[in-house]
Structure 1
Amino acid sequence: MKWVRSFHEVGLEDVPLVGGKNASLGEMIRELSPLGVKVPGGFATTSEAYWHFLEHNRLEEAIAGELKTLDPDDPAALQRASRRLRNLILKGEYPEDLEAEIRLAYRRLSEEAGEEALPVAVRSSATAEDLPTASFAGQQESYLHVQGEEDLLLHVKRAMASLFTARAISYRAHMGFDHLKVALSVGVQRMVRADTASSGVIFTLDPDTGHPGFVYLTAIWGLGENIVQGRVAPDGYYVHKETLRAGYRALVYKRLGAKELTLAFDPKEGRLKNRPTPPYLRGQFALSDEEALLLADWSIKIEEHYSRKRGTPTPMDIEWAKDGPTGELFVLQARPETVHSQKAPVLRIYRLLARGEVLAEGLAVGEAIATGRARVLKDPREMEHFQEGEVLVTETTNPDWEPIMKRAAAIVTERGGRTSHAAIVARELGVPAVVGALGATRLIPDGAAVTVSCAEGEVGRVYRGALPFEVEEIRPEALPKTRTRILVNVGTPDEALRASLLPTDGVGLLRMEFVFASHVRVHPLALTRFETLPQEVKRQVAELTEAYPDKRAYFVDRLAQGIGLIAAAFYPRPVLLRFSDFKTNEYARLIGGHLFEPKEENPMLGWRGASRYYHPDYKEGFLLEVQAVRKVREAMGLKNLQVMVPFCRTPEEGRRVLEVMAEGGLRRGEDGLQVYVMAEIPSNVLEAEAFAELFDGFSIGSNDLTQLALGLDRDSERVAELFDERSPTVKALCALLIEKAHARGKKVGICGQAPSDYPEFAAFLVERGIDSLSLNPDALLRTVRKVAEIEADLGAPT
């Protein structure tokens, strides 16, 4: 055929002929199908067919005239020009030879599928599209469930006309592409019946931070337009590339999304229709773990192939769908990711310097902070009301909003997830976005000054007023190298991906209780003794653990996922996990906790840390912690996870804890497992030789060590002024521990707050030869520089 090509006939070298999207489909069918990657077949009209259509209808001169004097920054003029140009194409007639080839190719495709009139997807594919520097994602239109020759011819014409949507004209103008040198190829692809199954989007990196170690998948019920347009909050899945390649078949993390709507074809009305998703489906993941792992495996193969072809690492943005009738998974399209792959390696740390009234909350996209006046809009046609530098607040966005979004300081939407249109565009523009902020258009006053903060972990917040903030830039290669290992403290999985990109040697403190609180929320004994719970507590636990017949499995699974994401983010650097160190009053706040925790006059000095782990009243809870660690190391393959025992008062306690760990299948020294002990009680220092016989090293907890060395309750405001880690007593204990541990060949680090707060305390420890400092992320820059200066003065080798 002259004007049509089968996908089997084209590859990446054919972008000028069939556009980026269709060239990529052909490449995958030709090169990756033999590796197991499934891609629906189809055909494409060529760029030559597009020019043939314009010439037949004498449209080139009219298009050139319309665009010659157009100001792409004038929204009203842009909309007028777009309407006129699209109407010109829609009123045009097909050349006979082009129409005949489209009809013939469609009949052949239908015959291959054994159907008289095969339902197809009609996708636009521009010749300046899916390039490493410009994705053009969503600029042209796609049409789903097109059926029959007449319907197909209509939608091919509509796809060609979509080259001149306002958003597409604006995008080309701002990216520097000549409108009259860009042609449109139309892809016609066998329809995957995801409307009776599920679909989603995949990135072969973390879309928020650009972390390259993960495949991030999203999934919803029904057709994928809802996820792209940001109408629903999808399920999210993280797969760690390195361990998947090594043969470990386990997700490191997954999050259930609301999946509020399902888009499906309504045969009665003959059109696509959005309906509320039934509650029982909203409570289920739209992909099984095995399906997510299969898609991740395909995604890695796609990324590796494109990286080889381009000669440079090429992270990918992939769409997938599951066919309802057959249950088969398919890749619908794949394009280079163009946000993080183009960024220079500069890390920016944003810090909010004050807090205010929270007007709305949702998922944070990116890690920036911005201020501006809120502008609440219902429709992109209201764009004349929007001023440069304002904060766009709306229900959801689609590509029609992009001329407004380009002028926004920040974006807030009531709907959508991390791969929604709003999130993708915000990342490309480098502006913070809060998506899925329920009630935002009602709760945020139009015209009010607001601060949009995405620098506080997973939750993005919109504050009333213009709050002060600061930005620190880090070029990793500019940081000095130090002999002292520099580690980072991580509290929750939400912080891990961002913190892992900092130039550190790993994690010196991961607090298990923080993961408890954010991911488990239930007291472990309320799970091991579920049948004995009072009715109301039983109901609360059952609501959270509905998907787990074995309530213990809920604890192990949720805790392992929270820990696993952090261990995977830093892999292969070591991650030191401290077993739970809640005090009794803090455990009591977990669901069901009040039933199992004693009331203590001074919980800080009571039943905490090691003393709980072997005690018959908590041992079964600690064994669940041990099982979660085993799952991360053994099922997920993350052997970089090491553990630490807190508040271990005597060597005898240490022995008993190690025995319980071994009883649970976690043995020090087995498969590279190291076990550290916190040094936070004077006995840990004074009996350091005995502790060194049991453990692989020490980590100083400066807060508790100061409290117990000086006889202070660190929670009491009356003696707060006496609390100082820099006191001669505390410093003497630290120096003595380093000396004793090194004499026994054991390492000493510090994970307490003091080195982050007091550079001079960090300097003292470096002078005494400490092996590592574990710092809060926001203290990293200044402390590393201080350490390098001290080491230079000491003449220490780097």
Structure 2
Amino acid sequence: MDKFLWLDQIQKSDRSQVGEKAFYLSHLAQRGYPVIPGFAIEAQALREFLESIHWLDPLFADLPNSSLHLDVDNPRQLQLVARAIRQEIAAAALPAKWLETLASISEHLKAPALILRPSLALPSPTGIDRDLKISGLLDAHVCFSSPDALAAAVKRVWAEVFRARSLLFWRRNGIQLQQINVAILVQPLHNSVAAGVLQANSNLWEIKATCGLGIALVKGEVLPDYYQVQPESGAVLMRKLGVKTIAYNLEEHKSWQRIETKNRINLPLQTYLLSEEQQKQYALEEQYLQELIQLAQQFKAEIGSAFTLEWTLTAKASESTADRLYLTKIRTDREMENKATSKQASRKAEENQTIQLKTPGPSIPHLFRGIGAAGGRAVALAQVIIEPSENPETIPTGKILVVKSFHPDWLPLLKQAAGVIAEQGGMTCHAGIVARELGIPAVVGVRNATQSIQSDELVMVDGDRGEIYLLREQEMANQEFVSTGDRLLSMGHGQEEQSSISNTQDPIPALWRNTTASPNAELPLAHTQHPIANAQLPTTNIQYPIVATQLLVNLSQPSAIKRAASLPVDGVGLLRSELMMLEVLEGQHPSRWVTMGQRQELIELLAQAVSQFASAFAPRPVFYRSLDWRSHEFQSLAPLLPTEVNPMLGMRGTFSYVQDPTLFDLELAALHRVYESGYTNINLLLPFVRTVEEFSFCKNRVEQAGLLHKSHFQLWIMAEVPSILFLLPDYIKAGCMGISIGTNDLTQLLLGVDRDRSEMAIAFDERHPAVMKAIFQLILMAKEAGIPCSICGQAPAQYPEVIDRLVEWGITSISVSLDAVERTYSAIARAEQRLLVEGARGYKSQKSKVKSQK
């Protein structure tokens, strides 16, 4: 078979032609490890194919030997060149001999579909860093197993080399096209029961698992099941059930070979919803978990302690067979090796052409655990703040704040921080809310953090896992910390290496790389990104499906406006006035502005701040929530105000307006000023309304301010105090035009759980039956009354499975934090699609029933 090699035929001398991925898998297969059979299309095939094309553009005539001189800093030229090359690759025909071979192979594999993975090797020596990270650069492709579909998929994989982002990557890293060997690993694709990854190092193994094919995990559409394993004994130290609501499998079709390829260029995959019972079960049964651990122990004995295994559990072919665990990818993490290994040992390993990597990785830094309140990772020096009275202005920029609890009036401090660690608080605390909007990691509920961490110690915050790593100086000597978050995992039998960084970050232990940097030198503080993320790739227009349910965003910071306005949102569902106003107040409580005779000045400043949001989103609506001060959170602005015993149930929301309407009137005047300046998309959302009388009082003030007479203006209330479950018709009769369900406070009050107490986080669950029934009742009553019903708490963002029920019940809009917009959009689209499909099936079933009766 010219240019085609079965995995069990690959020899050491074939490494550069079949690429690293196929080479390593072939060695596993030949050593007896469970590897799905497959074959490799050698890299030379791509070169011969490119030379056979009759290029229309002379610029490409000498591919693949051309250096392809183009200006990669010119986005338009880069896109045009990339598109032209890929179009000609797609249009060109493969040699007849190759087509015959592919037809024979696809028939021999006897599978409904195939997965094609790029297997790349950079020849050595080339002057190129062999540790260059390329995961996520070249995408895998899935196709039906017909010869025509396979041939088209092969060309799509080859075309990956010439995508705009690939051309940019080659150029930025000094790689010539003639230096690149891209082979293709082709394997049959079968339905999977589960799939995932095992990340191993000398101290700890971590396993992630999800149901079905691994695509949902790669795309970040599920939170996988998670295990920690002790390497030596294989004992499971910890297991945590994930949040898995969807899964991928192959489409069911009885005539795979007869499908017209030209009409089936999309993936032969289907998404399905997991039942509530399936969601409560671990994806990987105990017997297969133990089998995976045994495989890893065997692997460790052969190659050393640092490696990554990707695996899939294929579904049984018949009742007489069993599910079977396969390894789909192996990566030996060179970065985790001891770089002090002698050059002689390196040369010996190269000569042996095997995967012998015996050197241990570094020791694990000291670990603290808490609640991940804002995703991402950051490495920086710590700044410990024990007393709230400490002046935030004295804190240097770029440090990780370590505090007992975060106070909203420390917002300016948080905006210049690399991350935040707090002893108190939960997912709904202000530290988490603001950190998510600012895009910095936050971990809360970390016990004794201010005593265990000292200022100027180097720490790493992992907001995705809720973990803190204290990196002692001796561990940092002559080394630079490198997070593994830029490495995107291919999940076996699914489309791999998608650019979904935030949800596929590898956990600590982290990787280390030798460097001559001093341990006291300044370290990079940014979240680790994909290696080409900083290369200023030309942007593309993403096509989002049309959805009926409105998607809104929660905001408070003007700095987030530009990013938010570019996302597929229908407006701002919650503009938090307290946090937005902190910048306006310049460290002074608003009542002090009034007493100092600066009322008009404050109105003007507040109007300018609101206008920024109104202008950016016009004509999309912006729902401004009026001030919901909680005394303990703004103590530094007004230290002489009395301290409340229970501020969560104290002088807050509309009750405080009834007691003293001064500040509320000031806000209304500012909103009127915004309307007068031409922005008619501002609406008012009243917070923490306890009684209809409070609402009526506020409505009268709004009317006196001249806002109710504006044609587009809407007056809504937050549905967060449980009394609204009994009084919503009365609120509507009194003039309420819409409601927004605040799941944070609603859950707190229904379950009697302090949302800011990290010790009670386990009891704070928005999915509790009492909470879900309350939400259902509110949506139903709003529908019956003909008013819109939104939801703006943390629940939809944290628990995507809730969105299915919200859409089914008829929620008008869903408003989420900035970091959750895109995944919420996808969840809404899936939920609506499911309802349409179920409706169509029900209609057909009913129609068939009527027809049979006739």
Establish whether TM, by shorter chain, passes 0.5. no
TM-score w.r.t. length of structure 1? 0.43
